[in-house]
Amino acid sequence: MSSVVGATVQFLAVAVFLLAGAQKLAAPATFGETLRKLRLPGVAVLRRAVPLLELATAALLAAAFRPAAAVLVALEGFGFGVAGIIALRRRTHISCACFGPLDSGVLGIRQVILVPVWLLVAASTLVLPAIGGLAGVAALTAIALAMGCVAAVYLMVPWVRDRRAAMVVTTR
């Protein structure tokens, strides 16, 4: 039973970090604006480094490099919490950009509340059995392909709607 729980936590964490990193890289301006509003030093470096760190975390989780993955998950979880605290202390509306343009939430209490969850994910990475090695890499590839398909459908729906609307206008 613990192997099912471990694999599930691993799968979900890989998906979250993969989506977050990919979305931030795809729309760096959105994430950069969040960093600017937080008034963090080194916005240009952070705008590139954070998404790459998230993708590296996903890869380490998928390949079951447990200690390194656990450290990165815990550090990133704390970082997300610190961003939430900064936003709360500034009493300003700062767009989360956790998942790039897919996330329209606001930085704040949600990130602070989720810190213990990230710590549990980090701990489970060390304690619970998970999928590792080539199977983990295959799982990462499957997750990436599935997310790519979902993203393609997500992007195609408005395009199809616009094309249909254009066809209706031109046929009248």
pTM (2 d.p.) = 0.74
**105 SS3 class:** coil
CB atoms within 10 A of CB 98: 22
Give the domain extent around 45: 2-171
Summarize pLDDT for 25-71 with one digit per residue, the tens.
888 888 899 999 999 899 999 999 999 999 999 999 888 788 999 99
Summarize pLDDT for 67-95 with one digit per residue, the tens.
999 999 999 999 999 999 999 998 888 88
The total domain count for the chain is 1
User: Rounded CA gap, 133 and 24, in Å?
Assistant: 27
